Amino acid sequence: MKKQDPMVCSFNCSNTYEELQKRCSATLQTKITIDPLASVNPFTEFDNMIATLKADPANPYPLSYTFRQCEATCNAASTLDRSSREVIYYNQAFLDGIKGPDTKVRWAVRCIIAHEIGHHFMGHTLPSTPAGDSNTRRKRERRADFFTGFVISRFPGATEQDAIEGILSLDPQSYRPRDAAEEKFSIYPTLQNRIAAVKEGFKAANNPKDPLRIDMFKKIDSVARIQMARNGRSSIYHVIDFKMSMGDFTGAKQLTEELLLKPDFSDKGQLWEYKSIADQQLGNLAEAIESQRKATELNKNNMDKLERLQLLLDNGSPAQKLESSEIKKRLESRQIQQKIDTKKLKQKTGRIQ
């Protein structure tokens, strides 16, 4: 039986898992780079958020998530990638469109990031989490909003108003649901209910006797320890993603080359792909192809990596174009088979029900 895809949780958007995996790969993120002179840098705010999430300043366990820009999500979304890394995607154009002074924009960006971390934090994105009905999904959104208020309250000088800036960045004219009647059929709460959830989280964090505050701190430490043991390498990918987002492809390439020399680094397939992306952006097609070929060899069942190799080869020599054509046929055959398998699974599930 086909394994269930991880859940996709977003700030206020509709994306499927397959869509995000297809359109939000590290390959595509290089199309947009962050203005180095921008007053509010989402990567900087993300790092601030992770630092703030520690239950105790002496806690040595960092929370590690992959943070990446992607135009496919209309604002921000959280899910797992195909390597089971916990990823947060954000839309740079949406962040650029937030109006107001830098201070207001900075709080809004922090709130949006905190909301998506909250979904990961509470296990909403795990494949084992059932999709749930509209009511269940709304509760998850409110919990992530509560988490936002809780985290924002820990920033020095933060106010309740600062904590709701993320929600206020959403357009009230186009936001749905508009009222309680529409909310019953939506996976999102109304703006009023979301603001209320954020405020609840903010107040709980500032009350040392609040049981929710105590439980949240315990969970922060627990999740941090698990992530450190399971996914410590994510922090390395975060650095590479940051360099690429800033247009520093030379720096990204140098870092991947250094890491590839380390025998104890387990996920070298991903490193080879990062190197391939950097080489492509630097105009080194031959090196990009060879690096992607190694990434594909180390991840034989990963069709995304194979497809990227096919696209690179299609820009190469006549012999490489021929190889690209053969790979394309294999990919198309695999896609057809997947559709057949999916159809059979649906038919089987229907009979069981």
| Domain locations in the chain as residue ranges | 9-231, 263-352
Going residue by residue through the chain, which has 353 residues, state the pLDDT in tens, using 9 for 90 and above.
Answer: 445 778 889 888 888 888 888 788 655 555 455 565 566 888 888 888 877 776 555 444 456 678 888 888 989 999 988 777 788 999 988 998 998 999 999 999 999 999 998 898 888 887 777 878 899 999 999 999 998 998 899 888 999 999 999 999 999 999 999 999 999 999 999 999 999 999 999 998 877 776 666 666 566 555 545 554 444 445 567 678 777 767 788 998 999 999 899 887 777 888 899 899 999 989 999 999 999 999 999 988 888 888 889 999 999 999 999 999 999 998 888 877 777 766 666 565 554 44
The CATH T-level fold of domain 263-352 is 1.25.40
CA 63 to chain centre: 14
Are residues 296 and 278 in contact, defined by beta-carbon separation less than 8 angstroms? no
Phi, psi at 90, each rounded to 5°: -135, 155
SS3 assignment, position 218: helix
Are residues 194 and 167 in contact, defined by beta-carbon separation less than 8 angstroms? yes
What tokens were used for 53?
């999430």
Degrees to nearest 5, angle at CA 43 with 160 and 102: 50
Burial of 135 (0-12, 13-18, 19+ CB in 10 A): exposed
Phi, psi at 87, each rounded to 5°: -115, 145
* Residues whose CB falls within 8 Å of the CB of residue 66, separated by 6 or more in sequence, listed in order: 81, 85, 86, 87, 88, 234, 237, 238, 241
Degrees to nearest 5, angle at CA 42 with 41 and 45: 90
Question: H helices then E strands: how many in the chain?
Answer: 17, 4
**157 conformational bin, left if phi > 0, alpha if psi -120 to 50, beta if neither:** left
Does pTM surpass 0.75? no
Handedness of CA 341, 24, 26, 236 (dihedral sign): negative
SS (H, E, C) 258-302: HHHCCCCCCCHHHHHHHHHHHHHHCCCHHHHHHHHHHHHHHCCCC
